[in-house]
Structure 1
Amino acid sequence: MHQRHSDSPDHTPRRHVLGHAVRATLLIGLISGAGTLHAQDAAGGDAAEASKAKDLEGITVTGSRIRRVDVETANPVVTLDRAAIEATGKATLGDLVQELPSIAGNATNPNTNNGGGTGASTVSLRGLGEKRTLVLVNGIRLAYNDVNAIPANMIDRIEVLSDGASAIYGSDAIGGVVNFILRDHFDGVQISSDFGTSKRSDGNRRNFSLTAGHTGKDYGVIAGLSYSDIDAVSADARNYSKDALYLIDGAPVKQGSSATPTGSVNFNDGSAASKALAGTNGCSRVTLNPGVTGATGPGDFHCYTGSDSYNYQPYNLLQTPQKRTNAFLLGHYKFNDYVQAYVNSYFSKTKSSSVIAPIPIFANGDNFLASASSYYNPFGVDFGTDRGTGTSTNDLNTRLTVLGNRRYQYNTYNLQVNPGLRGSFGDSSWQWDTSINYGRVRQDSINYGFLDYAKFNQAVGPSFMDTDGTVRCGTAGNAIAGCTPLNIFNINDPSGLSNLQSMVVNPSVGSVYTVKQLEANANGDLFDLPAGTVSLATGLSYRKESTSTSADPLWTADENGLCGVIEYCASTLAGRFNVKEAYAETLIPLLANLPGVRSLNLTVGTRWSDYSTVGSSTNSKVSLEWRPVEDLLLRGTVSEVFRAPNTSELYAGVAGDAATVNDPCNGYTGGHDVACANVPTDGSYRQADGQISGKASGSEVAGYQLKPETGRSYDIGLVYDPHWLEGLSFSVDSWKINLKDTISTVSAQTVLNQCYANPSSAFCALIHRNGNGTINYVAEPTVNLGKLWAAGTDFAATYRLPETRYGRFTASLNGTYMKRYDINPDTTDPSSVVIHNAGIFTYSYGNFPRWRALGTLNWSRGDWSASWRLRYVGRSQIGNADLRQGLSADYDQAGVERKIGAYVYHNVQVGYNVESWHTKLELGVDNLTDKQPPLYYANNTTNANTDVATYDLLGRFYWMRATVSF
């Protein structure tokens, strides 16, 4: 049962002031407009025709529902038209959008192998995360946040609003909105095909698209198909990623996982027997000598060093393979001058996969017990965790290389259909639109190369030599039928291969997400003021979202995050909610044609949302546009923003996670007994691996009652179009976003850092260490975490030079400066450490360089065209000298900062239009200088020793395309 909140506790008095003011203004406008609409209907002749002509000129720009003649409004919008999209030569829309300077943080893309592999690309405006960026298609919510699922050949342009827009679009539009505008007219047939390959002849891509359309007097239809095939690239194919590199004591070291094929045996539970074994061997950690077969003895092991670690990198991918098929159908039919029907529909099927190294086994982390009474145990002490009592003993890590790599195969099906009716109220200025939005996303995955936990646990438990010379599971007189003992101390011995293979399982997971929405909108003019016409946009909507996930029982975690398959688990999920919404927005011209005031316009809007899960919320905005002279626009917006929890955040069960952390208890000598429970105080402790077991879950499983995150968005800026230099335009916008009660899955690093700083922190209960101090797992529930503050400045400039005999040149530059990105994970804790992300990379939040920019220079002359794109990623750093941050670039030293220099990527393209063949040929080179990504090291990242969300991974890439039109 979900508790409803009719009065949100988040509405501070200041919030009420803005909301009441906006609602009062809108109410006046609505009352005034009641008679005005009738008067417009009754008007005839020239007045009606003039109004109709004016309506034809009006358009809506993302960020407002009001039709405007002005393209430049209070909304800071970046537009990418179809020509700009095609000139980039990008294989997917995700590749294109993620280059924008306003994108930062941890957005997913096909280079995300470990933790990705679905082929998806998401958008994280301001680095606020994909869940705080609303993706629209023709103003309608996209069912699946993967923008690669949108067929590129149906897109006319992309509008990116980098401002909070909850008052206009509802939940999720905190960082901004990305709106993909569809083509509405196309006549003929167009076929396009391209091929690309890297300088090293890998990462090949093949794309094909077919678009056909016809426009008649009263109708239009456009249909298309496209197919994309992108090859995998192994991490072994690049020098920067072929080895697992750690930064240790200031030097890069090839040091992989302690889960090695020869095993890592650690006598560290503090017992007398373990101490004696460490003394006998001359070290506390040993590994098997090469070439040993069969049962082992203590003399078959040598002291473990970093050179014995396992290099898992060659088995990972820099680019995950994917095959994608898209289809779309767009159409409209005009019944008469006042009513038109339309339908926008598209479908995509994506087949993709990720591949990672063979399964590692951690006796304590995976919660199994290699028994001291096992026939194959040469040391006579327990290793791992007794699941019955929870008692932890010595560490034993190994890796099942004989079973080959783990593979995650995904099939994703995305269908979205949006039929509707639109028209006008007679000859008035008022237009209306009603539509249905149905979206369904199904994803099926098969996970190869895992083990049945129960069978494995039995096989490494007590065993004995029977009287017939057969080694059996169990104890004498109490043998376990159907079980064959496993020699975990020599697990890759060929004699045990068939036994391991009998335990292999390939569990599957299936999920379905649906959205059903009914929406009705209307907009038009209310009445005239001396400065202009007051306009209104208003609407209602009802939306229902539901999610369900089914998984093999062996692949499903229990309440402790433990599962029947060693290492990772999936979650079961089933839940739904509905939301009813109403909004109104009005444009009020205040002054016009006065000295120092060419125009002064006020826009106010408000939206009421009522969720079946978290209650109601009202969010408003106020915008002001002032033109002191024709060439200059000054603008500002204050918006209330919010985000309601989605179905995954609410209902997800426990699922396994491999989190990358830097344990603050490394080198521990005392003083933090809660965060470092059971850790030796002699300074000898070191976290064995950069990755630990995390247990993520939704809020209900964790016992939390989520509420919406709320806040304010501020934007103030200017646009200047000097009449004395035709073709030049530039803008500057400063922005700030403040959020509270942020909905977030708590990262394992945050849990460790916050508990280390305050032993009374609520985060301490989420840490689970073994009896020897090593991390068993860290719980990562979804909660309302704390506060977030982000601020920065955007700038843009475009100059279209006059055409000369040398052709036409157009230059543009877009950039972002990140001034602030701070997070307070726990505002209830006075000692909570505020995390400063601006200018820094962290595993938990991603990369936030202070400066990012994208510059383009386009040229055309006759049938020839060319473009040069320059992408700038500013300086960043790993680690923080402030020890309270718990961030260090070094694996072995606290508070180490490592500077990362700025990066510049150059992409060039040239095209030629063969008019007689109705064909355009294009050639392009991305990353012209073959720049390799910077090293971030495996102790700071999960994939490829670098930040795969920010930098180019493949190096120089060549592509060519041919487009034929009929």
Structure 2
Amino acid sequence: MKTSTKLRLSAGSFAVGLVLASTPSFAQDEAVDETEAEEVGDLIIVTGSRIASPTVESPAPLQILDDAAIDDAGVTNVQELLLENPVFGTPALSRTNSAFLTSGTGTATVDLRDIGSARTLVLINGRRVVGSVANSPIVDLNVIPTQFVERIDILTGGASSLYGSDAVAGVVNFVYKRDFEGIEANGQYGITEHGDDARYQLNTTIGTNFADGDGNIMVHFGYSNEEGLLSRKRANTAVDDFDLFRLTGNRDDFGTESIPFFSSFPPQGRFITPTRTFTYDPNGNLQNCFTTNGPTCAATIGSGTGPNGFNRQNFRTIAVPVERYLFAASGEYALNDDINFFFEGTFNKTSSAREIEPFALSSSGTTGIYPGSGQMPIENYLPGTNTIVANPYVPAAIAAAATDTDGDGLRDIGFVRRLVEFGSRLGSTERDFYRMVVGFDGTLADDRFRWDVSYNYGQVSENQISTGQVNVVNFRDALAAIVDVNDLDGDGLTTDVICLDAEARANGCAPANIFGAGNISQAAVGYIQAQGTFQTGLKQHVVQGNISGSLFDLPAGPLGVAAGVEYRRESSFSDNDALTNQGLNAGNVLPDTSGKFDVVEGFVEVRVPILANTPGFELLEVGGAVRVADYSTVGTVYSWNVTGTWQPIDDIRIRGTWARAVRAPNIGELFAGLSQTFPAGLSDPCAGIGATGGGATGDNCRADAGVAANIAANGTFTLNQADLQGISGFNGGNPNLFEETADSWTVGAVIAPRSLGGVFERLTLTADYYNIEIEDVISGFPRADTLDQCYNQGNQTFCGLITRRPAATAVNSAGSLQFINALQVNAAVTKTSGVDVTANWWAPLGVTENDRLSMRVAYTHVIENDFFSLPTEDPDPSAGEIGTAKDRFTANLNYQTDLFKLGFTGTYIGKSSEDDGFCAAFAALDPARGGSCPTVPAIFYLDMNASFYVTDQAEFYFGVDNLLDTDAPNLLSGTSFNVTGTDTAADVYDPFGRRYYAGVRFRF
């Protein structure tokens, strides 16, 4: 290729060069001198600055993970490797926490600093990536072709001034391989020690130069499959259980199983009358009592014994299966000495599936079959007559105990039932990802400046189909069953059972017998069942241009500058099926959502060397950047940073950053439709308020006309049980949101004691303190806090979210709470701080340069991670709680020769506690211990990998993850961090146990 363009690096692409060839696979701010830089190119750009310079030093904490580390880890999805790094918190989405979600099944995300995945910006080659989660910017790491990645740059700290919105916690930049020639292929298979969750992958990368070296093109094909793991496949998760601590409040009971803890929605049904509750025993005999988990029923009609509950765990999932097809390509062509054309393309198809227990249906409740009365009629009027006919499926004993509870002249009952005849609730998701980038880059002014312009297009579409749901209207028609004594359906039969409603019969209604397990006919199932669908789409267009270089030389070095402009347009939609939209599938109303926005941005960055090669000041440099962005949604926002680097001697570098970052609200936060919910556990602050008194709360309550009418009629504000249970509300977006703002700063040191020689010559230590405070955090405000702010604090903004029933309502309901909405608002504050420490060391051990021992350690101590629902409220701390351990580290030890490589990776998660708010509720039950939160002990995982170089072109490798077979701590149902179906926090701890993998790799 032409000599002046042998390494084409634009402000949107990054390289580290020889650093990664001469250091361990996980580097931290390693620097090369200018001689080395010239060997890999005149100027390079490192994540954390857009200014091209001759070194890879970063003023902000930067960790670099290279392709050797990716290969050694043997991961199927790069998320697994990243989560070992302690700077990452619990992922919002992963294979082990998405089985119960209505969308996002199998998605893999990352969350720097544990302050939300939407505040971590994911880039490919320095450019944005379209999100994969509906109406959000969150990127699914399934779209990353792992074996096509040359390295991963992890920049922690606010970087909005350089990369735009969402980089509040930092940036994860995946840098693809380039200028690759040859063929690299690998195949790998892995399985757990239990013989489940098989994982396999096949990958091929092919690259070649053309046009006498002026061009290069690379293509990558990848396939991977993770088969998944069902809860019933493991003894410890096969049966429903419950944490005894939740039942007793005794801290010593934390993690102790109460077995079984079955569901009270059984497949044989539970039928409620005013005096008795009926069910069926395992032999199909009717009994007039029900015990969910107990050993016996005292009063029986048949011979039944308990328990009568249902084991949901038999149908649940520990890890969802994920299958991926990946294609990636990139290329470049030198048009002349100063201009190059480049392109990138990625296609990914991800398929995932989920299984959870059969649907639990009730006659009552807001999502029940009969949302008004909550009662199922067991007799009906014949059409056009006053003749009452009984439902022939209702057993005589139940009919004898039934009464008319709703005053319509017909006896009725309540029921709950598990719909096993409909099968498990299954969901399949197909997600297609497309991304392409085309552009030009080059040099100006005798290579003093580098420039690039590019167009970046991304699109994601998701189609989800779910089964096991019901059509509530059809179910209601199917339950209205009668004996067709008058041959209403005209089939000539007078003893058959039919649906009462003629229109329903015309539409195929088949009567449903819910009494006893397995008694709903397949004809009735076919009429009642409803297939759910969920479709989403996201599109992103980005046009950008950048220029970087040095304006002129100062005594201490060149004055670096970078500038750029960007236009970005994003749109997204999510569509549910019609029944879901109307809440007619026994669920709440879920609306569709769509929205779009665009933004024009510009930035300038400067780096000013003040002193160099002076005693006490080998380098003193300051820099800064500012970005102005004009959004179609929130208007103009500003972000900036100030950086400083002082190197008193060659071996020590002190650095610091101070930054203002912004995050503009995403499409879901702005435009999500109103989805109805029926919150429980709310207390009306106006209850008991009289005509006078009550202080400010009393005055605020009486200001409502309905409350005043209720007090006038009853003396005090009086509520009945129906009022308390009838509170509803809507969750939704808010088009009036504005941006979050974060002030962050870091200060740290890089110590490379080369002058000491010996074992210190190849040692690099870093230590950095970070502090991030985000104001105007976008979140749904808790409804209990909304009531408090309105009536106890007099905050009218929150009063606007509350609707009470009018004065004209029946006396006992006048003024009662009807709706409390929880729209997204800019109200909360998040604060986090901590310390990162890394160490990298290697030493030659043999006669060849490949004989070496290397070590790397990354440690993070979290000082605080607090969430304030309002700036004036007390914080909800999470530092030290499960998923946000105060102390975490990952350590790697590797030994390699010309013939083999052996490595060990240890991951430590410090002692962690239950949620403090959860524990506070049980403080009174455990006075001897002061209500202190129970804890889980520190956990240590050890992984091993080995490679054998059979020839120069062939390598055999194998590894063992969780070599010590460390068990995940018991975090059972009823505790805060339990992931349903796993009996632990499966997104924090390893639920699989020891597992093995092996593979071959070829290079030609």
TM-score, normalized by length of structure 2?
Answer: 0.78
The aligned runs of 1:206-605 (5 Å cut-off) are: 206-216=200-210, 217-247=213-243, 248-249=247-248, 250=250, 251=253, 252-253=257-258, 254-264=260-270, 277=274, 280-281=275-276, 287-292=279-284, 300-302=288-290, 304-305=292-293, 307-362=307-362, 363-369=364-370, 370-371=374-375, 373-375=377-379, 376=394, 378=399, 379-380=401-402, 396-460=415-479, 468=494, 490=515, 492-557=517-582, 563-567=583-587, 571-605=591-625
- For the pair 1:791 / 2:833, whether they are aligned, the reply is yes
Q: 1 CA distance for matches of 2:718 and 2:278? A: 25
Does the CA-based 8 Å contact 2:481-2:497 persist in structure 1?
A: no
Q: 2 CA distance for matches of 1:543 and 1:789? A: 29
Question: 1:153-184, CA deviations, whole angstroms, 9 ceiling, x for partnerless residues?
Answer: 22100000111101111100011100001111
Say how many residue pairs are matched. 854
Aligned residue number for residue 8 of structure 1: none
Q: Give SS of 2:421's match.
A: helix
State the one-letter code of the partner of 2:958.
L
Q: 1 CA distance for matches of 2:951 and 2:261? A: 58
Does the CA-based 8 Å contact 2:48-2:58 persist in structure 1?
A: no
How far residue 569 of structure 1 moved from its aligned partner, in angstroms, is 6.3
Larger CA deviation: 546-555 vs 171-180: 546-555
How far residue 114 of structure 1 moved from its aligned partner, in angstroms, is 1.6
Q: 2 CA distance for matches of 1:330 and 1:385? A: 73
Does the CA-based 8 Å contact 2:66-2:150 persist in structure 1?
A: yes
Does the CA-based 8 Å contact 1:55-1:429 persist in structure 2?
A: no
Selected match of 1:89 from 61, 64, 74: 74
- For the pair 1:194 / 2:188, whether they are aligned, the reply is yes
Does the CA-based 8 Å contact 1:554-1:564 persist in structure 2?
A: yes
Distance 1:728 1:888, change over 3 A: farther
Distance 1:89 1:898, change over 3 A: same
Distance 1:385 1:89, change over 3 A: farther
Aligned residue number for residue 650 of structure 1: 670
Q: 1 CA distance for matches of 2:870 and 2:452? A: 44
Q: 2 CA distance for matches of 1:777 and 1:381? A: 33
Q: Percent of aligned pairs with the same residue?
A: 26
Larger CA deviation: 354-363 vs 612-621: 354-363
The aligned runs of 1:613-628 (5 Å cut-off) are: 613-628=633-648
How far residue 501 of structure 1 moved from its aligned partner, in angstroms, is 2.9
Aligned residue number for residue 297 of structure 2: none
How far residue 530 of structure 1 moved from its aligned partner, in angstroms, is 2.2
Distance 1:260 1:179, change over 3 A: same
Q: 1 CA distance for matches of 2:647 and 2:155? A: 21
Aligned residue number for residue 199 of structure 2: 205
Does the CA-based 8 Å contact 1:105-1:129 persist in structure 2?
A: no
Distance 1:335 1:357, change over 3 A: same
Q: 2 CA distance for matches of 1:629 and 1:763? A: 61
Q: 2 CA distance for matches of 1:479 and 1:119? A: 39
Distance 1:233 1:768, change over 3 A: farther
Aligned residue number for residue 9 of structure 1: none
How far residue 365 of structure 1 moved from its aligned partner, in angstroms, is 4.3
Q: 1 CA distance for matches of 2:903 and 2:499? A: 70
Q: Give SS of 1:364's match.
A: coil
Q: 2 CA distance for matches of 1:316 and 1:573? A: 29
Aligned residue number for residue 32 of structure 1: none
Does the CA-based 8 Å contact 1:858-1:866 persist in structure 2?
A: yes
- For the pair 1:954 / 2:992, whether they are aligned, the reply is yes
- For the pair 1:707 / 2:738, whether they are aligned, the reply is yes
The aligned runs of 1:665-704 (5 Å cut-off) are: 697-700=731-734
State the one-letter code of the partner of 1:502.
Y
How far residue 193 of structure 1 moved from its aligned partner, in angstroms, is 0.3
Distance 1:381 1:190, change over 3 A: farther
Does the CA-based 8 Å contact 1:109-1:119 persist in structure 2?
A: yes
Aligned residue number for residue 153 of structure 1: 147
Distance 1:764 1:785, change over 3 A: same
Does the CA-based 8 Å contact 2:542-2:567 persist in structure 1?
A: yes
Does the CA-based 8 Å contact 1:547-1:647 persist in structure 2?
A: yes
How far residue 106 of structure 1 moved from its aligned partner, in angstroms, is 4.1
Does the CA-based 8 Å contact 2:481-2:512 persist in structure 1?
A: no
- For the pair 1:964 / 2:1002, whether they are aligned, the reply is yes
Aligned residue number for residue 809 of structure 1: 853
Q: 2 CA distance for matches of 1:621 and 1:448? A: 51
Q: 1 CA distance for matches of 2:818 and 2:366? A: 5
How far residue 951 of structure 1 moved from its aligned partner, in angstroms, is 1.0
Does the CA-based 8 Å contact 2:474-2:527 persist in structure 1?
A: no
Question: 1:805-845, CA deviations, whole angstroms, 9 ceiling, x for partnerless residues?
Answer: 69411001001111111111134xx5x4421111113xxxx
Does the CA-based 8 Å contact 2:625-2:640 persist in structure 1?
A: yes
Distance 1:332 1:481, change over 3 A: closer
Q: 1 CA distance for matches of 2:288 and 2:991? A: 42
How far residue 95 of structure 1 moved from its aligned partner, in angstroms, is 1.4
State the one-letter code of the partner of 1:628.
P
Does the CA-based 8 Å contact 2:270-2:415 persist in structure 1?
A: yes
Q: 2 CA distance for matches of 1:889 and 1:70? A: 61
Where structure 1 has 5 or more consecutive residues not aligned to the other structure, the ranges are: 1-48, 268-276, 387-392, 558-562, 842-846
Q: 2 CA distance for matches of 1:889 and 1:859? A: 54
Question: 1:32-66, CA deviations, whole angstroms, 9 ceiling, x for partnerless residues?
Answer: xxxxxxxxxxxxxxxxx99x969933211111111
Q: 2 CA distance for matches of 1:738 and 1:246? A: 37
Q: 2 CA distance for matches of 1:431 and 1:385? A: 82
Does the CA-based 8 Å contact 2:425-2:468 persist in structure 1?
A: yes
- For the pair 1:185 / 2:179, whether they are aligned, the reply is yes
How far residue 759 of structure 1 moved from its aligned partner, in angstroms, is 6.4
Distance 1:192 1:955, change over 3 A: same
State the one-letter code of the partner of 2:122.
V
Q: 1 CA distance for matches of 2:925 and 2:651? A: 49
Q: 2 CA distance for matches of 1:79 and 1:384? A: 68
Q: Give SS of 1:61's match.
A: coil
Q: 1 CA distance for matches of 2:875 and 2:555? A: 51
How far residue 937 of structure 1 moved from its aligned partner, in angstroms, is 1.3
- For the pair 1:720 / 2:720, whether they are aligned, the reply is no
The aligned runs of 1:69-84 (5 Å cut-off) are: 69-84=54-69
How far residue 640 of structure 1 moved from its aligned partner, in angstroms, is 0.6
Does the CA-based 8 Å contact 2:323-2:352 persist in structure 1?
A: yes
Larger CA deviation: 532-541 vs 881-890: 881-890
Distance 1:240 1:804, change over 3 A: same
Q: 2 CA distance for matches of 1:868 and 1:202? A: 24
Q: Give SS of 1:500's match.
A: helix
Q: Give SS of 1:955's match.
A: coil
How far residue 384 of structure 1 moved from its aligned partner, in angstroms, is 11
Does the CA-based 8 Å contact 1:117-1:352 persist in structure 2?
A: no
- For the pair 1:915 / 2:951, whether they are aligned, the reply is yes
Q: Give SS of 1:94's match.
A: helix
Q: Give SS of 2:197's match.
A: coil
Aligned residue number for residue 43 of structure 1: none
Q: Give SS of 2:453's match.
A: strand
How far residue 945 of structure 1 moved from its aligned partner, in angstroms, is 2.1
TM-score, normalized by length of structure 1?
Answer: 0.81
Aligned residue number for residue 931 of structure 1: 966
Q: 2 CA distance for matches of 1:225 and 1:385? A: 68
How far residue 502 of structure 1 moved from its aligned partner, in angstroms, is 1.5
Does the CA-based 8 Å contact 1:163-1:174 persist in structure 2?
A: yes
Does the CA-based 8 Å contact 2:801-2:822 persist in structure 1?
A: no
Where structure 2 has 5 or more consecutive residues not aligned to the other structure, the ranges are: 1-33, 132-138, 295-306, 380-393, 487-493, 690-696, 702-716, 806-811
Aligned residue number for residue 610 of structure 1: 630
Aligned residue number for residue 707 of structure 2: none
Q: Give SS of 1:308's match.
A: coil
Distance 1:751 1:465, change over 3 A: farther
Please provide the CA RMSD for this pair: 3.9
How far residue 142 of structure 1 moved from its aligned partner, in angstroms, is 1.1
